[in-house]
Structure 1
């Protein structure tokens, strides 16, 4: 189940900022450091300059290293169940697919056809620890944040639908609110959603207390010291 629904203003704001900003803003909203629902390690983005994907997680698990052991009819039916599931549910939504073969994933599930289908379903992007391909041919407005790039789909098949998944150390449940970009991904806690817009704006404003002087000619330690004191005061 999805958590508290976002209004359009919050959605637009989340899409306009990067994932590190949201990570910091969650700590502002919570009033403490220590937020840890984010991916670990380096991920790859199909469109590094395309901005963030934001949405409620639609989850699944796949495998591609070996042929499926179940019957072709079972695999075919589950595939259609998967696409039906991805086409349904609250929007905005992000498809989050764990490759069970990780860290030895070889099946490029996210190529031109599959990304185009998911975009057509109204999904905002794909997050996976698995493989993407067809770079340069993927549709605009549907970023893929993945674990690797490769040429083959292997024996890719769907194993589970709408179950909890783990992507680069981040546990994601169906309906979790996900924010992801070229830096990785995070899950936004339900408890901060009502205050997150204000927290992002406060964060952006207070950052300018240091960034403004640092970008001006004649910046030195004394000006930094004064700016940092004002910055720390504004954060409390």
Structure 2
């Protein structure tokens, strides 16, 4: 069991009001939720940030809404993926992704290796001095090979 996260999909085609704000996030938190992921818009972002309650939202909107929960426990579409009850999710300022449970430990184990692989390029482009397209291309090739190797290690194919 992981932390409880509220995940919901706003069914309005064009947002007409916020699906969350300070009141709803405070409420979710009071009932044990550790975060919120929604396709809907949010409001009161400064107040929500002050709660230290992480949210991923599709947009911001200033107007209130009166949300109606139609179903609980059904798959929802949020952040470009379909989320099911008990999915392991990772979200940050860049978006939300689902981590298959059967490879979650492996993903955690290789996270630093992925950062190290990116450093092949980042260290080069951030360093002082003149840059070479050929050297940059070589480092991108090395990065690609390193990432491909990591993908093979945690791939569910053949397991």
Following TM superposition, where does structure 1 have runs of at least 4 consecutive aligned residues deviating by more than 6 angstroms?
Answer: none
Q: Which of 197, 205, 208 is the matching residue for 2:119?
A: 208
Q: Residues 107-146 of structure 1: matches in 2 within 5 Å?
A: 107-138=17-48, 139-146=50-57
Q: Which has the higher strand share?
A: 1
Aligned mates of 1:232, 1:109 — CA distance in 2: 40
* Gapped regions of structure 2 (runs ≥ 5): 150-159
Aligned mates of 2:19, 2:146 — CA distance in 1: 46
Other structure's SS at 2:69 match: strand
Residues 73-123 of structure 1: per-residue CA shift (max 9 Å, x gap) = xxxxxxxxxxxxxxxxx431221011122x223232311111012123332
Q: Which of 63, 75, 81 is the matching residue for 1:152?
A: 63
Cα drift, residue 232 of structure 1? 4.9
Aligned mates of 1:196, 1:93 — CA distance in 2: 21
Contact 2:79/2:96 (CA < 8 Å) preserved in 1? no
Cα drift, residue 234 of structure 1? 4.2
* TM-score normalised to structure 2 length: 0.77
**Which residue of 1 is the match for residue 155 of structure 2?**
none
Aligned mates of 1:99, 1:137 — CA distance in 2: 21
**RMSD in angstroms over aligned alpha carbons?**
2.3
Other structure's SS at 1:110 match: coil
Contact 2:8/2:76 (CA < 8 Å) preserved in 1? yes
**Is 1:224 aligned with 2:127?**
no
Cα drift, residue 168 of structure 1? 4.2
* TM-score normalised to structure 1 length: 0.54
Q: Which of 90, 99, 102 is the matching residue for 1:191?
A: 102
Contact 1:213/1:219 (CA < 8 Å) preserved in 2? no
* Gapped regions of structure 1 (runs ≥ 5): 1-89
Higher relative CO (Cα under 8 Å, sequence separation at least 6) belongs to: 1
Aligned mates of 1:120, 1:148 — CA distance in 2: 24
Cα drift, residue 226 of structure 1? 5.1
Aligned mates of 1:124, 1:215 — CA distance in 2: 36
Q: Give the direction of change, closer, same or farther, for the CA distance of 1:112–1:225 in structure 2 (3 Å limit).
A: closer
Contact 1:94/1:123 (CA < 8 Å) preserved in 2? yes
How many residues in Structure 1 have an aligned counterpart in Structure 2? 146
**Is 1:163 aligned with 2:69?**
no
Q: Which of 5, 13, 16 is the matching residue for 1:106?
A: 16
Aligned mates of 2:135, 2:34 — CA distance in 1: 43
